A and B are shown apart, each in its own frame.
Chain A
Amino acid sequence: MPTVGYCVIALMLTAYVLLDGFDLGVASIAPFIARNDNERRIAMESIGPFWNGNEVCLIAAGAALFALFPSAYAASFSGFYLPFMVVLWLLMFRGISLELREHLSSDLWHQFWDAAFWASSTLLIVLFGVALGNLIRGVPLDASGYFKGSFSFLLNPYAIAVALLAVCVLGFHGAAFARLRIDGPPAVRAASALTALWWCVAALYVIVSAATLYLRGFDGHWATYACGAIALAALIAMRLALGRSDVAAFAASSLFLIALMGAAAATMYPYILPGYPPGSGGLSIEAAAPSVAAMTTALTVTIGGGIAVFAYGSLVFRRMAGKLRVEDVTQ
């Protein structure tokens, strides 16, 4: 049963990466594809109705981790205390800038909030990348199952490579989303951004994969290699889709993200918090799991709730689909 719980957490985090990934991605490339106030406004409007719902995935994943693996929740959140607080502040700041931009009419304010929104979104991607990199690399757990992540420990080359990959791949994902939602000059610029970003993604994917193999050795779970192969196929599909089909490009980058997250989860399994140095054990999902009653409840809630959310969420989002044009949002 803990394995099912582990998959649920991995799935929720993947859903978060897919969903908030596109709005973080749009934000991170907005300065490059939108050149004037109206275009930037449209870039924001393209994610306006979604970001809040998307962030709820993160909250729900956090709460699910609390319910399914309390000691992993306790150790990881307290171990990454300061980085986590920075993430919280950035999430807040980002929410504030997105919501307030709409309500203030001065151009200067718009420029300020656009810059704030770009900076906080991009930094968030970097921090998430660093966090994921460190999870895969392992954390120095002590005998009582806690650790303290210092900045010098967390900012290692491997984690930074993962963070760069995250920036590029979410930029790609965001640009692909922007092409689905926006018409006009920003869409044209998004197309050229896609080509450039693809090369970065491909290069970093090779580097990170090689580094992961070097770090964790070749004795990983078979699913690691399966996911790695799927990611490679998705990467090729992303390239083939460029200039042909926007839907296919977005679908391919989604698949790529899913495969990456799957590979990360499979690498860590059966530990939910692998120890550092690699091979020194860690907090296993068996050890972190709560009572059977708690596990059953949490699984029922997350799986049942997830299906329901998916059902009504796609109904509602379908009603809101369609492209935004610059004329639509001009005041």
Chain B
Amino acid sequence: METVLADRLQFAFTIMFHYLFPIGTIGLAPFVAAYTWKAARSGDPEDAAAARFWTTIFAVNFAAGVVTGIPMEFQFGTNWAAFSRSSGSVVGQPLAMEGMFAFFLESIFLGALLYGRRGKPTRFMAWAAVMVCLGAWLSGYFIVVTDAWMQHPVGYVAGPNGTYQLSDIWAVVLSSWARWQFAHVFIGALLTGSLIVAGVGAYYLLAKRETALAKRFVRSGTIAAFVFSILAAFPTGDINADDVTKYQPVKLAAMEGLFQSAHGAPLAIIGMPDSKNRTLLDPVYVPGILSYLAYGNFRANVNGLEAYPREFWPPVELTYYAYHVMVGLGTIFGGITALAVLLLVMRRLYSTPLMLWVLMLLVPFPYIANEAGWVVSEVGRQPWIVYGLMRTAAGSSPTVSGGETLFTIIGFAGMYFLLGVLFLTLVLREIGLGPSHPQEVPV
């Protein structure tokens, strides 16, 4: 197998699997912190049960995140040695910061939180939970900085032997691309966390268990999810799209399935791109909207893919579908949570089984939206590994063959299958036991 293709497959597979867990960690961390804080303050056993329940689920999720994160940290060196050598001076920095500032914080305080779980929540544990949350968020920030530099390189100078050397660390860490990308990633994860909390609560209500706590879960989950699903589109999604328009116009054209440049370009809601014949099949258009979204003007010119040489096109179909899945799901989340909040205000939510069913079954979908979003941003970046500077094909390790990578992909697949099954078993078991299930260990 072609080496670069194997490396890309392995990276895509392992990162998409890894990302399943940080979403939960980033999104659930504030709930864990809030419940622990509340329990430490009130001393109420029900609050303590909620805190313990979410801490346990968080911990299982965290462990899976760590286990799948270690390969990510090493893969730049193992599979992308040429990229690491040329760009390590820059991308190594946020990764080192993540290790020193975020991972230690997160894991040491999580250890403290789990250790104290046997007893009643204390002030110290409440602080530990806040630190864990801070660690998870920081780690998300630094990794997004890494990715943002690859999307939009800044703060570097060309060095000897085809390397890119860091010149201004603040420009890298605080780049506007990184800030808005993080905001969007962060909202995506918080939306997921809120929908998990709501979904678990809905399940308990439907199963007629844990009713008092379940109502709290559903209430706080749906309200938060409603707010975050708006923030996912405006302002964060919108600004990400603006950045793409400004810096990566080819990606924008692929996302929208726009082959021919147009004044007053329409927005395709539905349609099937065909990159061979360079058309969008069976489209449903809203006229002028794309020009408006991209440039704030219904008549502006938007460049289509044909304005660029074929070799600079990303895989069009994948980028297009992934983008439409993300935005479509985002719209659906907005609609459903708005309805749920309305029912909540009318005091009918807890007694509307249909809505509870929907909330419960909705849990996997924010994961899909998040993964699809990453496919847009990473596949859409092709053929560049560092946008405009280095081709993906030039980035892989010269001493590792495609066959070797294929072998390790299979190894990862086996290991991750095991991990996935066990993760689901544990989380479902914990949910089955429920928050008020008595602690195994005598206090």
Contact = CB atoms under 8 A, between A and B. Distances in A.
B207 interface: no
B81 interface: yes
A245 B85 CA distance: 48
A50 to B, nearest CB: 7
A309 B108 CA distance: 9
Interface stretch (B299-307, B355-363, B382-390, B393-401): B393-401
A77 interface: yes
Q: In terms of DSSP, what is the predominant structure of the interface of chain B?
A: helix
Interface string B76-102: 111101101101111111011111110
Nearest to B99: A60
Interface stretch (B162-170, B234-242, B284-292): B162-170
B415 A63 contact: no
Contact of B399 (A56, A79, A317): A79
Interface string A291-331: 10110011001101110010011001101100000000101
Contacts of B67: 91-92, 95-96
Nearest to B414: A89
Interface in B388-443: 397-400, 404, 408, 411, 415, 418-419, 422, 426, 429, 440-441
B88 A71 contact: yes
Q: For the side of the interface on B, what is the size category? A: 35 or more
Interface in B90-142: 90-93, 95-101, 103-105, 107-112, 114-115, 124, 128
A96 B422 contact: yes
Contacts of B91: 66
Among B128, B397, B419, B426, chain A packs the most CB atoms within 10 A around the CB of: B397
B174 interface: no
Nearest to B85: A74
A81 B398 contact: no
A70 B104 contact: no
Q: For the side of the interface on A, what is the size category? A: 35 or more
A267 interface: no
A226 to B, nearest CB: 29
Contacts, number: 216
B84 A316 contact: no
Given A81-B404, A91-B70, A290-B166, A99 B60 contact: yes
Given A91-B70, A294-B93, A66 B415 contact: no
Contacts of B87: 70
A99 to B, nearest CB: 5
A52 B110 contact: yes
A68 interface: yes
Nearest to A310: B104
A78 interface: yes
Nearest 9 CB-CB pairings of A with B:
A70-B88, A77-B77, A305-B100, A67-B92, A60-B99, A290-B89, A291-B165, A78-B397, A78-B81
Interface of A: 48-50, 52-53, 55-56, 58-60, 62-64, 66-68, 70-71, 73-79, 81-82, 84-85, 88-89, 91-93, 95-96, 99-100, 103, 144-148, 290-291, 293-294, 297-298, 301-302, 304-306, 309, 312-313, 316-317, 319-320, 329, 331
Interface of B: 60, 63, 66-71, 73-74, 76-79, 81-82, 84-85, 87-93, 95-101, 103-105, 107-112, 114-115, 124, 128, 157, 159, 163, 165-169, 397-400, 404, 408, 411, 415, 418-419, 422, 426, 429, 440-441
8 contacts: A67-B93, A70-B92, A78-B397, A79-B399, A81-B400, A85-B411, A146-B398, A309-B104
